[in-house]
Chain A
Amino acid sequence: MSPAQKKKFPQKDCSSSTMKRVRPVPKAAPALQPPPKANKKPNATKPFVSVAIARAPSTTIGKSNGRPSASITPKRPLKQQSNSLEHGEDSDDEEFGDVTIDMGSDEEGDDDSEQEGDDEDFEDEEDFEGSGNDEQEVFPIGEDDDEKSEVNSAGREEDGSETEEDDYMPGDSLDEEELKEEDLEKVAMSNDNGAYKKKLLPEIDPVYDSDSSTEDVTNTVGNIPLEWYNDYPHIGYDLDGKKVLRPAKGDELEKFLATMDDPDTWRSVTDREGKEVVLNDEELDIIRRLQEGAIPDAGYDPYEPTVEWFTSKVEVMPLTAKPEPKRRFVPSKWEAKTIMKIVRAIREGRIVPRKTTAQKPSYYNLWTNDDKPREDHIMHIPAPKMRLPEHDESYNPPAEYLPTEKERQEWEATDREDRPRNYLPMKYSSLRSVPAYNRFIQERFERCLDLYLAPRVRKNRACIPSCYYLYSFGRILSTISHNTTTFLFYWNQQLNIDPESLIPKLPSPKDLQPFPSTLSLTFIGHTNRIRCFSIDPTGLYLLSGSDDNTLRMWEITTGRCLHTWNVDDIVHFVAWNPNRDLWCFAASVGHGRVVVISPPEACSPELAAVTDVYLRAGFAPIQGSVDGEKDKAVKWAKPTEQEEEDGYRLVIQHSQSVKQITWHRKGDYFATVAPDAQNLAVLIHQTTKHQTQSPFKKLKGLVQRALFHPIKPIFFVATQRYVRVYNLMKQELVKTLQTGVKWVSSLDIHPGGRRQCHYWELLQTVMLVRYGFVFNFV
């Protein structure tokens, strides 16, 4: 395709679209033409057929049935139209291709060519729509062009032909023949392509041949009564003024012979001009139908269901497959300008939002009463209702209700507040003689005061007793004085709790197994109260400290005392070093003496050597490096030679007696608890460096126990009532656990570090028996 052709096709579209607009076809044959869409839709292949038929008259007109066709002349433009419609499609394609490319770039830049470009665009749209849906003119329902495009298109319609001529390229030498050939090519092309078949459909009306209205037009002698020429050899005159001769007729014999020879005799008729016409089957069928009074068109179904092509329903999918026009993608500049104007005005403050005036109710319901159901709320208590009147309040009560004189005096004698009723039954002869109640306003006022001053609030007691009983269920909440009557509001406190459910559920002993149920072994040897014991990390040996001034190490499985240390004071606490690679324990002896002992028993030489090195490591730098304050707190010392022989490795002197020693998991640090030492109650010692630090400047309460978390750098300090959790890394209090008991005596943590267990005062006594026990845990 040459550029010239390309250029030309849109212009042809313009002309065709103009022609289409003035085409009167739908009006001419409304009955026989099926509804346009119905025609268009069912068979998409029809356009090509129709084109062929439309072309047929010009070439094969003589061949068909010799009917002169007056529609030849108008058919050319129609055909052109049809072809140019295709071109229109093609050009649309191209145009839209351009558009799609140009989509990104807005046309705002070129203001000069804007109008022109708009024109072109709208032309395209018109072409497009016209080719796709011709009936838009006839049924302009689906028209959704904005004003601008309508105006433009209207203007274009008028000068459509002009533009057509104007836009012909200079030197364009295409004549009609070439154009027709090209049209044919285009038809073939589009046929091959199969694209936009539907749009070729329209009114290239193939049905002109069979249209009965056109038969009159085929008359070449003119529309005159033929009987005028009954006496003449000719039957009329053609366009050139020459006589049209009556066709020759044979005599009756010839006619008969011809009848006998010709099998089609029965279906041949003579037309007005005397020519014989053989009716084909369809025509015969039409005749038959006419005779029967039926609709002549066999393919026409008068009762086919109506299809409402244009309804108010918005289809989800568009009925046409046409591509979206460009304007759908391009935001409307006009709207943008309008909006920007408003936006600017709002920004500059020229447009101020309308002030909403609060709508005040002009009147309110005077009679709103509290009978109106309120929304259900647990805290809501409805106001107590006034008592309904009884028989004795009647103006004419039965005689038995009337008070006697004595009752009347009694009533009058009592104080107003104490009267059981605030009235005396009175008898009147009629209602109109009843006087006004003189205390009405006063009583109403009192009731309002009652309701207002005695708030009906449900107070749920927050203290669900932590002990195992509830002390009171019924409680007086408030008293409301109403007239002389006193209402007492009793209610159950809504604590509908089964007291049994408050008792903590004790697990069955079976679930607690291994449960120490049997005394298996007794370690005999101590002669006084045993204060403490500790099991070594391997679980093989047991240490016990006693008031008999001895510290004993036992073999757990047999109960054999392996070693006895004679310390000269009470042993308060012993704790094995939890590190398996070390072999030592710490014991608190007497008044603040903490000794670290590495037992010579049951220890391999290697382990003993390692422990020795570990414990003695701090002795070298100790002198001078410790400042005075720390010296004051504790004093690190070497054991004497004799003690060393017995396993003593370190001696740390505290100011007060140490009640507990707890090791860190790694065995380097251990903490001592001396409850009486005030702010030095908790000290953390490092065995390798022989250093002591006091982690707390001030401590509230008597410290009972301290504990290292087995995994995390967390330190627990239990005072009598609270357990405080400190983070050793950040040196801060993490949280305070409130135990709710009077005396926390012991504290332990699950070895996995997940749970803490508290053992309260009751359990403390378990250890304070003369012998240490090993229960059957193993």
Chain B
Amino acid sequence: MSQEEVTQVQVRFVTQQRKYAVIDSAILVPARLKRYGLSEIVNHLLGSENPVPFDFLIEGQFLRTSLSEYLENAGLSTENLITIEYVESMLPPTPMSSFQHDDWISSVKGFSQHSLFLTGSYDNYVRIWNTSGECVSTFRDHTAPVKDVAWLEVDETQATCLSASQDQSVLAWQYSFSSDDQTVLYECKGHKASVESVAVDPSKQHFATASWDSTIKIWTSSIPTEDETDYVEDARHKRRKTHKTDDRKSKSAASTLEGHVGPVSSVVFDSQDANALYSGGWDHSVRIWDVEQRVNVSTKVMTNHDVNTNRIQNCEKVVYGIAHSPHSKLLASGHADKTVRLWDPRADDVTVVKLTLISHTLWVPTVSWSPTSAYMLVSGSYDGTCKLWDIRSKAPVYTIAAPLVAKGEATKKVFTVDWEGERILSGGEDCQLRIHSAKM
């Protein structure tokens, strides 16, 4: 009698991870099983001593309920043979440490090999941190909040990094680990408004900057021998920049990409192709550029929202952050309408959004792909949370909770997030560089 009560479903377990492959035959499992039960079965089938947590996908979607509920929702009968794909489950991110800053953190970039973190802050400083929480170095040459930072080159002895600031300049720094001294290699001048984003191409030969003056500028990373621009000595600024060094070389842009009709908020190079550049702006568009040709290859343009057609799939909102995945070749963008959208830059269609991830409650200014997985990405939002997404599921996998605030106060916004190696770095209004482990 008990056997009749327990509904059983025929399932077949498949996986793309070779080391966890099990026999490819249908087995009967109780329909009431959830992820944990299925994971136990797979572990039993594998016969492994240390149980490995698995996640289960049916038809490309994560199984978040029991099998019977899934069948009920999908309108399937228990007679059907269900093919379940299982992947090794990602462990929930655990907070590792947090480094206190003096002011809001606008940007963070990690470098996993040397366990270094580069942060830009609204106190005009750029800092390099190591894993033990020491501020290795502080660059103080910016006169306005630093909006974005990027590693240019890091080797055993020295690190070169870039910082974009609201003072409309981009500075290239060099820090020597051994001698612990820092130098400004050159100053990139040319933008007419705050520089919002800087991105280095995979070959490290070029980097691109995006500015609120609605242009994108491409620069070479070579160190100039002399001033390339006529620096306008403004009386006012001269007086204010007392600490300005005269030996700083100024650099002019190799090329300027014009096409955005509003401020450009984010720019990123293709992780494989140094010639492809992606940018997102306030003009509701994600644009794809050919760097050598200096042309706007394609525009994922998102015009004004048409109420009548109600095309919710199209992005009609401001793009704030953009990231490109080296594995899935997809583009993720964070928007002012609280969503994360995924684009396929290779698709010809101008308006098709591959996926829209909705869970945040406020603007999403930053997104970052997992360096190892083709499916995982992390997004940070003004609601203070960071969410980990598996693009096979529409709901976020994990949510890194917002830092606690006193009652009545607004939440501390997250301005930047970076998934680097097995760590997720995030920074924002709470002046803390938060580091979470993100082990797959």
**Residue ranges of A at the interface with B (Cβ–Cβ < 8 Å):** 510-511, 513-514, 520-522, 524, 538-540, 555, 557-560, 562, 600-602, 604-609, 612, 776, 778
Contacts and interface: CB of A to CB of B under 8 A. Distances in A.
B294 interface: no
B415 A605 contact: no
Interface in B403-438: 409-410, 413, 415
A110 to B, nearest CB: 87
Given A511-B307, A520-B363, A557 B320 contact: yes
A117 to B, nearest CB: 86
Given A521-B382, A776-B337, A778-B282, 9 more contacts: A522-B410, A538-B263, A555-B166, A557-B265, A560-B122, A606-B192, A606-B232, A608-B236, A612-B236
Contacts of B234: 605, 608-609
B305 A513 contact: yes
B336 A558 contact: no
B104 A560 contact: yes
Contacts of A539: 263, 282
Interface string B339-383: 000000000000000000000001101000000000000000010
A602 B237 contact: no
A429 B106 CA distance: 120
7 contacts: A511-B307, A524-B410, A539-B263, A540-B193, A540-B194, A540-B263, A776-B337
A607 B192 contact: yes
B336 A520 contact: yes
Contacts of A609: 232, 234
A560 B145 CA distance: 10
B192 A604 contact: yes
Contacts of B193: 538, 540, 602, 604
A236 B240 CA distance: 162
B168 interface: yes
B212 interface: yes
Contacts of B232: 605-606, 609
Contact of A601 (B144, B337, B365): B144
Interface string B297-317: 000000001010000000001
B242 to A, nearest CB: 13
Contact of B382 (A511, A520, A524, A602): A520
Contacts of A538: 193, 212, 263
Nearest to A560: B122
A555 B415 CA distance: 13
A198 to B, nearest CB: 77
A769 to B, nearest CB: 14
A343 B363 CA distance: 95
B263 A778 contact: no
Residue among A521, A540, A560, A608 having the largest count of chain B Cβ atoms under 10 Å: A560
B200 to A, nearest CB: 23
B410 A778 contact: no
B277 interface: no
B316 to A, nearest CB: 9
A602 B196 CA distance: 12
Contact of B415 (A558, A602, A776): A558
Nearest to B262: A539
A244 B386 CA distance: 154
Contacts of B192: 604, 606-607
Contact of A604 (B168, B240, B365, B382): B168
A605 B240 CA distance: 12
A606 B192 CA distance: 9
Interface in B14-67: none
A522 B429 CA distance: 12
B388 interface: no
Contacts of A520: 336, 362-363, 382
Contact of A605 (B237, B305, B317): B237
A571 B428 CA distance: 31
A558 B382 CA distance: 9
A776 B318 CA distance: 11
Contacts of A601: 144, 166
A602 B320 contact: no
A554 to B, nearest CB: 12
Contacts of A604: 168, 192-193
A581 to B, nearest CB: 11
Residue among B144, B234, B282, B415 having the largest count of chain A Cβ atoms under 10 Å: B234
B406 to A, nearest CB: 12
Nearest to A559: B413
A608 B193 CA distance: 12
B144 to A, nearest CB: 7
Interface string B166-192: 101000000000000000000000001
The 10 closest A-B pairs by CB, nearest first: A605-B234, A522-B410, A778-B318, A605-B232, A778-B336, A604-B192, A605-B237, A604-B168, A540-B212, A602-B166
B336 A776 contact: yes
Contacts of B415: 558
B317 A602 contact: no
B164 to A, nearest CB: 14
A46 B237 CA distance: 118
Nearest to A606: B232
Nearest to A511: B307
A538 to B, nearest CB: 7
A524 B409 CA distance: 9
Contacts of A540: 193-194, 212, 263
Given A513-B305, A557-B320, A778-B317, A602 B413 contact: no
A239 to B, nearest CB: 117
A520 B320 CA distance: 14
Nearest to A510: B307
Contacts of A608: 234, 236-237
B122 to A, nearest CB: 6
Contacts of B265: 557
A157 B362 CA distance: 119
A238 B116 CA distance: 162
Contacts of A558: 104, 106, 413, 415
B236 A600 contact: yes
Residue among A510, A513, A776 having the largest count of chain B Cβ atoms under 10 Å: A776
Contacts of B337: 776
Given A521-B382, A557-B320, A558-B415, A602 B194 contact: yes
A609 B233 CA distance: 10
Interface string B67-106: 0000000000000000000000000000000000000101
Nearest to B308: A511
Contacts of B263: 538-540
B407 to A, nearest CB: 15
Contacts of B307: 510-511, 513
Contacts of B166: 555, 562, 601-602
Nearest to B122: A560
B56 to A, nearest CB: 36
Contacts of A559: 413
Nearest to B415: A558
Interface in B264-301: 265, 282
Contacts of A513: 305, 307
Contacts of A511: 307
B363 to A, nearest CB: 6
A531 B192 CA distance: 31
A686 B370 CA distance: 57
Nearest to A598: B236
B326 to A, nearest CB: 28
Contacts of A562: 145, 166
A255 B111 CA distance: 157
A558 B146 CA distance: 13
A521 B168 CA distance: 24
Contacts of B122: 560
A604 B362 CA distance: 31
B123 to A, nearest CB: 11
B336 A602 contact: no
Nearest to A513: B307
A602 B211 CA distance: 12
Nearest to B310: A510
